[in-house]
Amino acid sequence: KGIKKYSAIDKWSTQLKSLNLTITNRVC
Amino acid sequence: MASSSSSGLTFKLHPLVILNISDHYTRVKSQSQPPQNGAESTASPLPRVLVASSAFRGDGRSRSSTASSSSTTPPPTPSTVPSSRKNRNSVNKKVFPNYYILGWYSTGSEAEESDMQIHKALMDINESPVYVLLNPSINHTQKDLPATIYESVANTFCSCGLINATLELHVIDGIPQLIFVRSSYTIETVEAERISVDHVAHLKPSDGGSAATQLAAHLTGIHSAIKMLNSRIRVLHHYLLAMQKGDIPCENSLLRQVSSLLRRLPAIESEKFQDDFLMEYNDTLLITYLAMLTNCSRTVAGLV
Amino acid sequence: SESDAIFHYDEAAQANNVLLDSTRCSDSTAEKVSSLAITLRNVTFECLRSWRHGGLDLLGGNVSKVKNDSSDMGLAEFLSDEEGGQVGRLENVVGWYHSHPGYGCWLSGIDVSTQMLNQQFQEPFLAVVIDPTRTVSAGKVEIGAFRTYPEGYKPPDEPVSEYQTIPLNKIEDFGVHCKQYYSLDITYFKSSLDCHLLDLLWNKYWVNTLSSSPLLGNKDYVAGQISDLAEKLEQAENQLAHSRFGPLIAPPQRKKEEESQIAKITKDSAKITVEQVHGLMSQVIKDTLFNSVRQ
């Protein structure tokens, strides 16, 4: 139930984490 | 005319049908009575619009009138109806295979004798066509929709918001005759339709606007609905108080209905509902949190 | 009354309309055509009624000719139908409308070529696009009216009117053709009978307003939006990652592009959040209204 939504949210959070890491690397 | 239908069919009408009839009527009226520098129309009789087409979706014992289309504006004669309807039917069938012609509509205050002729002509296409009648005279004191649905006995399903009339066979003076019988109906809307009806009714802005504008529009809609609910409850409350004082006679059926309604509250109190409700709540908070983090990432990226 | 006067078909005035638009030159004539008031009611309802089929119809001519899911050259035959006159609709065909379920109000490549072709042969003519899925999700009608510029015309740079979310799989089609058309202001009109009936209809459908659940009704669409957002984030992140030494050597324009991409993603996420929060508000209000009563 709601598996599509949760997998989409999971994808969003994963990509957000990856983006933040990339931005952090740019700062450093 | 018999008083009410006993067919047992349920009729549901979508607002689109009502507004299409209104549109058709207004166009015919404006052509027959051109506006004169904003002056009100004269007292000449309003034109009668007859439209021999309605597209409906059938589903078991329920019929939904979701759309209507015009075929002829001048009163169709019984002989012209079947051919024009067949043409429309074939077009509609290609586009909406689940829809079929359920009946026809007209404007006026009462069903007339001549309507029966057209109704019988349509029985070639549909065994029990539905006849929807809209009263175009504007009366601001009325609260109910000025629409009536008449149905026929063979096909007692009709979901038109208008008055439904059922056609029943009666023997009058030894001759079997068909007469119109009114049927009750309900207004049905899908979510998108409801939003657009609300939009047109209150002429809300369709462009994005700011978040504050969107929030205001959303809350205004809910506020209006709650206000309606509140006014209905007040009316009931005053009525019950009057009954209690003895000002009006006691109506046991109403008391039973009110009692049953009150006993249904709280509406949902199960653990499953609480779980689902809290899950939706937390999902929304999670999405808000992720959006905030995305915004923060944007700010940091811009800073970098 | 004045509101009903607009329904009166005046042949001379219609002829003037055509003349006015055929004399327009290649610059934007939005102010000339924005006075074409369209009946939102019919457009909205017809599109929303047929949204699962990607409905398509004519404006101002034939009332209910609908064709499934197509805006190709077959439309040219479709538009020449004369049935409008037979049903007593005296007005000329002034445009066409179709729906973009879930992907916003804009003109795709096919839509642009269809509109351009029709504008060559009949004027005034406009294209209306409606998005019933976003209508339900946002709680307001998503509609746009457009006209194309003449072929080969380069419009002056104008500020973007209003940002709208475009799914990743449609973004190329959107971007290639977005300069070939311009949007029109939409004004609405209602007859006196319409106003009266709409007031009476409110007495019936206010229940639906209170009972609607935007959170529950559009779950697939929301999941699709979030998934699309995640993909856009991935794209932005890849772009940033490839410009590892970005802060040092990237040209200013590229930096601006990267920033605007993330800014757009942020706007998309804000839009999703706002819609979810509105839905949650409705649920909380209903819970308070109906579940906090105690015997």
CB C17 within 8 A of CB B43: no
DSSP codes, C50-81: TGGGT-EEEESS-SS---SS--STHHHHHHT-
Residue B59 reports pLDDT greater than 80: no
pLDDT of residue C20: 38
pLDDT tens sequence across B204-243: 555 556 677 888 888 988 999 999 999 999 999 999 999 9
CB C207 within 8 A of CB C21: no
pLDDT tens sequence across B170-210: 555 666 677 788 888 888 877 877 887 787 777 655 555 66
Interface-testing mutation among C168, C238, C240, with chain A (most A C-beta atoms within 10 A): C240
Between CA C154 and CA C139 the distance in angstroms is 36
pLDDT tens sequence across C71-85: 333 333 333 343 444
Among B28-37, C30-39, C120-129, C181-190, the least confident range? C30-39
pLDDT of residue B40: 41
pLDDT of residue C251: 60
The residue with greater pLDDT, B262 or B60, is B262
| Count, residues in chain C | 295
Contact residues on chain B for C262, CB-CB shorter than 8 A: 297-298, 301-302
Between CA C143 and CA C99 the distance in angstroms is 9
Which of C:44-103 have CB within 8 Å of A? none
Among B81-90, C70-79, C127-136, the least confident range? C70-79
How far, CA to CA in Å, does B173 sit from each of B114, B170, B177, B180? 20, 10, 10, 17
Residue C246 reports pLDDT greater than 90: no
C231 touches chain B (CB under 8 A): no
Residue B295 reports pLDDT greater than 90: yes
In this structure, the strands spanning C143-148 and B103-107 are unpaired
High-pLDDT (> 90) share of chain B, %? 21
For A26, the closest of B279, B293, B304 (CB atoms) is: B304
Give the chain C residue whose CA is nearest to the CA of B211.
C274
Mean pLDDT of B249-278: 89
Q: Which of B95, B93, B163 is nearest to B131 (CA)?
A: B163
Q: Which of C44, C39, C33 is nearest to C125 (CA)?
A: C33
3-state SS, residue A12: helix
Helix (H) or strand (E) holding C84: helix C83-86
Mean model confidence pLDDT for chain C = 69
Residue at token pair 């000719």: C65
Measure C256 CA to nearest chain A CA, in Å. 15
Mean pLDDT of C10-34: 40
Contact residues on chain A for C240, CB-CB shorter than 8 A: 19, 22-23, 26
Is there a cis peptide before residue B266, judged by omega within 30 degrees of 0?
yes
Q: What are φ and ψ of residue C80, in 5° steps?
A: -85, 5
The residue with greater pLDDT, C157 or C49, is C157
Measure C123 CA to nearest chain B CA, in Å. 22
Residue C224 reports pLDDT greater than 90: yes
| pTM, entire model | 0.76
**A20 and B287: CB-CB below 8 Å?**
no
Q: Is the ipTM of this complex over 0.90?
A: no
The residue with greater pLDDT, C208 or C185, is C208
3-state SS, residue C182: strand
The model's confidence at residue B50, banded by pLDDT at 50, 70 and 90, is low
pLDDT of residue C276: 94
B284 touches chain A (CB under 8 A): no
CB C63 within 8 A of CB C87: yes
C229 exposure class (CB count in 10 Å sphere: 0-12, 13-18, 19+): buried
Contact residues on chain B for C287, CB-CB shorter than 8 A: 277
Residue C63 reports pLDDT greater than 50: no
Between CA B69 and CA B88 the distance in angstroms is 9
Mean pLDDT of C43-69: 38
Q: Where are the alpha helices (DSSP H) in C150-190?
A: 171-177
Mean model confidence pLDDT for chain B = 72
Query: Rounded to the nearest 10 degrees, how much is the dihedral formed by the CA atoms of C9, C13, C16, C18?
Result: -10
Among B99-113, B145-159, B215-229, C40-54, the least confident range? C40-54
Among C25-29, C100-104, C175-179, the least confident range? C25-29
How far, CA to CA in Å, does C167 sit from each of B250, C32, C145? 62, 32, 20
* SS3 sequence of B109-129: CCCCHHHHHHHHHHCCCCCCC
The residue with greater pLDDT, C70 or B300, is B300
Contact residues on chain A for B297, CB-CB shorter than 8 A: 16, 19-20, 23
Among B118-122, B230-234, C136-140, C155-159, the least confident range? C155-159
The model's confidence at residue C227, banded by pLDDT at 50, 70 and 90, is very high
Q: Which residues, other chains included, contact C195 with Cβ-Cβ below 8 Å and sequence gap of 6+? A: C3
